[in-house]
Amino acid sequence: MSTIRRTQQQRRDQAEAAFLTAAAELVVEEGVHSLTLARVGERAGYSRGLVTHYFGSKQALLQRLAHATQSGFVPGLDGMPPGLDRLLRLIDGYIGALGQLRMPNRAFLLLWAEAATAADLARIFRERDEAFRADLREDVAAGIADATIRPDAAAEETAVAVLAQLRGIGLQRLVDSPAVDTERLRHSVTEYWRRALAVTQSPA
């Protein structure tokens, strides 16, 4: 029985991954307004009924897509303790990912930009952005606690500024890729935040 359950779970995971990939491709190629459960099912090679069974609605699909594409944006952070090192790794990795701008990353940024004028997406991305800011606030608080970040650093303002800067670079990369040198930016922006936040070592 356990083998059967694992096989069913594997099939479920495979189908969900196919649906999310199809949804991201449609967003990138034709925009979020082109997204329907029927088109996602057709693109993924499954029936609309199965897509509906998995997600229930377009809104639920968009919510799952936003979560999946954001979660995979910067690999290698899982397991890192909060603090200055994780914050700087996030900044460096985020801008580095923009250099490749893989299809899921592109889909996430397009959805985020669309959220400014689409109420259904705005609700989703308010939650996603708050989760992002919460991680950044946690990094600042942990850095203050372990004396790697200045005690007067403002966690909330830092979280808002870092998020705005990263997403702004991402949107510029979408609109005018040649103008955004991500390899230079990842180093300069990471170093900027290191200087802005790190405790200055007093000379011996």
Q: What local confidence, expressed as pLDDT, does residue 75 receive?
A: 75
SS3 state of residue 149: strand
What the block records as the tokens of 200 is: 């200055």
**1 pLDDT above the threshold of 50:** no
* Count of CA atoms in the C-beta half-sphere (13 A) of 81: 6
Q: How confident is the model at residue 202 (pLDDT cuts 50, 70, 90)?
A: low
pLDDT at 151 over 50: yes
Q: What percent of the chain has pLDDT over 90?
A: 64
Q: What phi and psi, each to the nearest 5 degrees, are found at residue 17?
A: -60, -40
Domains annotated on the chain, with CATH: 2-56 (1.10.10.60), 70-197 (1.10.357.10)
Per-residue pLDDT tens over the stretch 106-136 = 898 899 999 999 888 899 899 989 999 999 9
**Continuous H helices in the chain:** 2-30, 37-44, 48-55, 58-71, 84-100, 103-114, 119-145, 155-175, 182-197
- DSSP letter, residue 101: -
pLDDT of 198: 97
| Mean of pLDDT values over 53-57 | 91
Determine how many CB atoms are found less than 10 A away from the CB of residue 10: 10
pTM exceeding the 0.85 threshold for the entire prediction? no
Whether 104 has a pLDDT exceeding 90, the answer reads no
Please give the Cα distance from 20 to 14 (Å, whole number): 10
pLDDT tens for 18-44 read 999 999 999 999 988 889 999 999 999
